[in-house]
Structure 1
């Protein structure tokens, strides 16, 4: 637990290509909302921002003066004061960097916005270097003394889950001097390479049938009804990715090596260890999930894509057919108003409270939905700080999947609003549980749409779309996780060439997608644009974890578990204050049980069964 400017945005991105829109904004979508960032700061040159920046710098200096070298001697009451002062610094630093980051992601090609973010990042990093001692000293407190402090009635007992997680890092902690160096160096290390990746992908252009498109618009072609347009988009992507592959290879080589060096100094047993620790999840739980999904490839993705090839009248699918709409699916633009009403209606059908929590996003400038030059790709929900509110970014094109993305990101936003009551240190949910409300929101929206659909062709299209989303969320993300595992293992043996990384990518693609596919020349470079590999190594298994967890939760909901809604809201409101075992116990679920994951996968299998039955 360390304040760091390089982690100012917890970007919750959608799954893979299926949720990445974007072309020019269509006029018949209705008025699309834009962010009002004034709840953070009125303007980049506002006196409020300058004041808070100076306050953070002074507060860090004062905190270090008052507590450095003294943590072990504090009694319970003084420790509580110390932690709450630390939390206030966290809130103020988070507010500043949230504003700079969100403003930057509205237009990553704007040099003024990029400069502001870089300058503030430098100042916050410099200021918070004074706080590096905090976690190091805290982890040095003897166990007996630690337990006494957190057991005292007038002490910091409610914060114990935060510090239990922090103390899990004790075996991997470096000296104070080295920790300060890593903290200072972060702005020219991973953060700088992350920024290079973002700015590079945002500036890429693709020539498709004489038209120049950005990355989002070109990715959007992969879901076009016209197969020739899909192919043109895929080939344009391959051409540009291939042309830039040396830069992307350098970024991945550098980040993987940097991580390996730090892991070596910390004596981390595996490249994945840090992620598992931050997620507060046991490696064996992740391994059980990974094994259950890979074992299910033949009865999920392989089986579904063979079915889809028949629907499309093809002997083999090309990569541009993977997310193609069905021939019977009628293309229809969904206006923003209809999307809003659909999602809010589905949320209200579960509980009016859920819809009430989502409503302000539409009314108060908490969503930025339009497609604009330089805007960050994809979608995310950023919690900012617990004293303000979350903001949702979308690139809305009016497709059914965009409606599902809206439901997904609003789920994150609702989760973040509920967890905010825990306070800054306890609100943050481990990534493995961070997808719970988002995927549950998608499921509610999907079920509401399915219930209203009586036309067989429309029901088939809706079911197929959901199966593809679940495959992208579970199968694709576990394949991505395997790719990352292979990449980091290979990088440990030496520098990787583009051909090396391409081969790793294709090995997991063939395994996960199955024999229904042929892979065009150039597809081997499609690893280059996936932001998760750059921003959050090994993040991707959280999507599969979340989907499996939600499928099991939804089964309990459908089975009529008593007081389900109350238990659900209690789980979301817990934020990061409880372990996944404790959170799932009221639902009779246990993620450490291998059968738990099979239960979730069986829901996907059941949808495929229904689709196959429609063919009979």
Structure 2
């Protein structure tokens, strides 16, 4: 991949023309004069900003503080634009050493510039509450930034001295960021010899949903073997990052490994604990029950792990072309809200999506918000499965959410991860419900329902199991380094507990923890998926019974970005995530789907 222009759209005989993104809306290329000029300009602005404001915040009026925040925001947005371009270029081809060098150089330069700005939020957090409240009352300009100030000041009890904060910031590029890069480039470079081909990680994992059971088994065994051959390296990365997190958490006085993530998500510890407890208590009713049913559909007492996501025996496993997937998703969005579909169509009418699978490309899928002055980009690895259509609907939900929230500006558009998953999961639900409503054939309807149940189990049960795995690993790491075998034992214990007695595992499966990037890049991120799924299930129930105007309230919720907390965002819909019954409502939707499957003739 080159960063100076869009890759040509890729023609697939089965999938049609798959789009690739064009990053020139950010910068024309890695060596673009515009990029170099932005870095030089922000470097000078950061120096001037530090000279003007360091040590002076306590004496500023409300209007003067508002101007300082606006200046700080402008510098940060430019630096974010640079890093968006660098990270997206890198995601397109992690195997290219020239791109890798550019990505690392961009990180180091941006890190050096932003080090000059560290003092700003530290000094804001040293202001007394009364002084901040008085300035907010006196200055409408500062009041606009009240949500940002609220969120910055959440970290007052956890910030360190200026010198230590600078040290941690400067060392990031050769610390956590370097270990992240090592993980990414290792995964991107792995090849899995399956069916006479050397497949990428994304392609190998996709074989686990192949119609041919022999191909699924081969893929399952090869993935386990290749990951096992590299397990010592992945264990080293995991141990190092867990220890790094423990050290920083201790210095910052976080009481548990999950506390920092909960704070960044603006969600109370007890709300997360209630979600996790509710899902774990529901394992027997949900995953255990469903996979036992699926085993019987395959005429077996147990289901091998490589068959967990297998198509059902009578599933035609039709390949879905890209243009059909686009129309399915946009049609579902449009029936809910024409405005939402109009926003979504922009991603297809412009080169904002990178869809083909190719060597070196980041596996999985994501939506990158970049900065409000540009637009988001979507990365998927589209292979024509129904799950790929749902992934497209999911990432498009993120994309339209980011466009709507972008109206709040750079600082106020950022949404906590828990609510950042709402639009994406809601988009999936709209797409599924549209497909289900249009299906009149009972057998095909059953297949759709089973596919949705599996997606929901992957989103809710599997992600909470991932969270539980992380919590056990980070907790045990505090007593000393964990071997790859020990991490595998924890993985197997969590997987057996969450997936149930109907699943059958072999030794190779104990290495499957090692390819999951969330554990490396965003510790404890994963519960946000379950949070979003259960929230959307409750939200969709309100939508089905709602009076006219639900769509308008929904779009207003997305447009709020990071200005409101989850309590305020959900209040117009009569929902409250602090109510323990809230999570049961979401889980009951999955139970209902499984009940319907149990009553449907095979």
Q: TM-score range by the shorter chain?
A: over 0.9
> How many angstroms apart in 2 are the aligned matches of 1:364 and 1:154?
38
Q: CA deviation at 1:25?
A: 7.4
Spell out, residue by residue over 1:132-183, the C-alpha distance to the aligned partner (whole angstroms, 9 max, x if none). Answer: 1111111000111011112224331121111212111111110000000000
Match of 2:356 in 1: 370
> How many angstroms apart in 1 are the aligned matches of 2:326 and 2:249?
45
Identify which of 95, 116, 119 aligns with 1:109: 95
The answer to whether the 8 A contact 2:459-2:533 is kept is yes
Match of 2:86 in 1: 100
The TM-score normalised by the length of structure 1 is 0.95
CA RMSD of aligned residues (A): 1.0
The residue matched to 1:381 in structure 2 has which SS?
Answer: strand
The answer to whether the 8 A contact 2:11-2:18 is kept is no
The answer to whether the 8 A contact 1:221-1:230 is kept is yes
Spell out, residue by residue over 1:17-49, the C-alpha distance to the aligned partner (whole angstroms, 9 max, x if none). Answer: xxxxxxx97423111111111111112221111
Match of 1:234 in 2: 220
Spell out, residue by residue over 1:247-273, the C-alpha distance to the aligned partner (whole angstroms, 9 max, x if none). Answer: 000000000000000111111111111
Q: CA deviation at 1:236?
A: 0.2
> How many angstroms apart in 2 are the aligned matches of 1:517 and 1:45?
52
The residue matched to 2:193 in structure 1 has which SS?
Answer: strand
> How many angstroms apart in 2 are the aligned matches of 1:346 and 1:84?
39
> How many angstroms apart in 1 are the aligned matches of 2:518 and 2:257?
15
Identify which of 67, 73, 77 aligns with 1:91: 77
The answer to whether the 8 A contact 1:25-1:397 is kept is no
Q: CA deviation at 1:576?
A: 0.5
Identify which of 416, 440, 453 aligns with 2:439: 453
1:143 and 2:129 are equivalent in the alignment: yes
Match of 1:162 in 2: 148
Match of 1:344 in 2: 330
The residue matched to 1:333 in structure 2 has which SS?
Answer: coil
Unpaired runs of at least 5, structure 2: 1-9
Identify which of 41, 65, 75 aligns with 1:55: 41
1:608 and 2:587 are equivalent in the alignment: no
Equivalences for residues 181-580 of structure 1 within 5 A: 181-580=167-566
> How many angstroms apart in 2 are the aligned matches of 1:150 and 1:365?
42
The answer to whether the 8 A contact 2:11-2:17 is kept is no
The TM-score normalised by the length of structure 2 is 0.97
The answer to whether the 8 A contact 1:561-1:587 is kept is no
Match of 2:115 in 1: 129
The answer to whether the 8 A contact 2:203-2:357 is kept is no
Judging changes above 3 Å, is the alpha-carbon distance between structure 1 residues 561 and 512 closer, same or farther for their aligned structure 2 residues?
farther
The answer to whether the 8 A contact 1:407-1:442 is kept is yes
Judging changes above 3 Å, is the alpha-carbon distance between structure 1 residues 385 and 540 closer, same or farther for their aligned structure 2 residues?
same
Q: CA deviation at 1:71?
A: 0.9
Spell out, residue by residue over 1:41-81, the C-alpha distance to the aligned partner (whole angstroms, 9 max, x if none). Answer: 11222111111111111111111111000111110010110
Q: CA deviation at 1:595?
A: 0.5
> How many angstroms apart in 2 are the aligned matches of 1:288 and 1:346?
32
Aligned residues: 593
Q: CA deviation at 1:522?
A: 1.2
Spell out, residue by residue over 1:536-557, the C-alpha distance to the aligned partner (whole angstroms, 9 max, x if none). Answer: 0000000000001100000000
> How many angstroms apart in 2 are the aligned matches of 1:551 and 1:156?
37
Q: CA deviation at 1:562?
A: 4.2
The answer to whether the 8 A contact 1:165-1:277 is kept is no
